[in-house]
Structure 1
């Protein structure tokens, strides 16, 4: 496909949204690191200068992606996946530890996080497998293999420990649901989360009694009309109660103290006010300061480079995981609302592009891109405004981080390259 043809067929709305988010993100990185001195924006010794450099690297990567043949990504997807898994394994020997997680390779000029690459290769490998089997994935064997593609990188990342990055991979399950996985499994997933959280909040005994009562009532009221077999119902009751009984063991013996503290703060599990306040000042400090920064911005914000909490370094890691708080303080509700609208339009546009693909692989990879970007967006903003526990994953195209920006760019533009080969038309 010629360069002129690619320029005609690329989705310029998605490109414009990408550029807008990158530009707004960089301007907020500049603001969060601005010291008031006459620094050049091209000073690569500063964080904003480094980010600007990687914006240039990302733009170069876009040109390379667009120059490659469209079938290159499908043909070599399995090899890419294997290489990324080997890189994840290599961290246990050669990895560099940053902020308590051995998730990086030190390349000298930059730190490389292979989990970011693995997100792309896992989305590619999953799309390749699902498109190859050419089925609506009703067979248990197909479901198991698809889930294993997602599970393997997650299991390699959890021990680093980096549970936030591992969680992102499970978002790819929605690709399998799009291709026909019964919603029954999604129900199991949500029920597991609900049981886990309610057990922590109310205790094992009350949850076990509640579960048993609900299941018995369902059986008593619906058995005649739905003809529910008694053995599966009893088995379901036993399994759910056993899971509830295991929650405290997992919480106290498997979770690290910092994870327990985050759940205690999020769910208000600690009944001692002094201990809860201590947790809030330590584990919850970032979120507390982030909430205050956003709240202080009001409707219109304090103005660009005028954020007093941003300038006072009240919010740790403000240029990375908490970059959204800089936007809230300096641009107010207008700024945060604008960014949320830009992300929302991008997600809707990518769904439209995915649905119009002529090729199954392209459609499935497109939904993989949507899943990864959305889980990052949802968790990051939820964490910054205090409705979700602190997990520590960046806001796509926005947060400081060279490898993050580069791989988010590759993730998106591989799909936009695949979209240039479409036949269907859309709005």
Structure 2
């Protein structure tokens, strides 16, 4: 276990992140591959992506309120244990021969619900473990751990497990989530935002009314903040389009009747190539931003990623796919580190969980719609129509955000009382 020189609490957080993202990687790649083995219908296959992301649309705002009310580390631990239990049940059903598409979708949906609470609290707890000056460095380390687990190790492992024993696609992540939750116990201390608790002796607002007020405060902050609002809308368009693209891309890439003709193991290797690039992009993000400036670095990453999506469509061959996947990883992870670090600097600590969740509702709420839309359009208009349409939306979003943002995107904000002045200055 390594803290990368950022302290003991960060070391435990980083280690837990690495294990949970290895579990994410197995499930993210293994579930669609299992679905493809059950059906070749684009609509049904796309339901896997929709089930994984639907909880963000439904639960992002409540999860943010929970992250600002409760101990964030404890929320992550409980969410990890819940994911472990849900997937252990699915593994048991698979071992008994009761696995079908609907069991698969239920397992993915249950894991997605817990992920919303875990990830919202994780992004909110990180600034409590390292100084503000180290946020970009710490996010780079976390992002590299996520990519190594999610793609570099998880993807090929998922391809292997699908071929060997389908039950392990659920069983292996269950064990990893349980271990990740246990590691969080090493983060001694309290990780409570401290911004929402009523003062002693003050009248208590009913829970529903209190949550509604707190969520409304976060939404007003986000919508009034030019930088955060622009980033959230752009992220929403990019994620909607990417969800449509990748919900059906497995049909374009895998199988004898596909355009590229990869075996399941080849698809896992594609994600490994992506992860290798993502690790590099995560570690280089801070240096590139220092040279080019945050805005140029971020918009450049988003634009390059959008253009690169065209490569395996224009040239449906592994020779085009694997290099493109490496560059997807470099640009995608670099942009992700920059935008997360900017949010953590711009949002006051007492609002971080709620505003992050409001941002991610806009940024990720369209993902289930995109995944479902991609499947329906592919069913009637063909896979190329979905892939090319998604690329067009990505290019449009990446171009528009450059015009909407100021030259500097991460001016620190230390208190929610400073909102009007900051908003005018940006």
Larger radius of gyration: 1
Name whichever structure is richer in helix by fraction: 2
TM-score by length of 2: 0.30
TM-score by length of 1: 0.30
Which of structures 1 and 2 has the larger relative contact order (alpha carbons within 8 angstroms, sep 6+)? 2
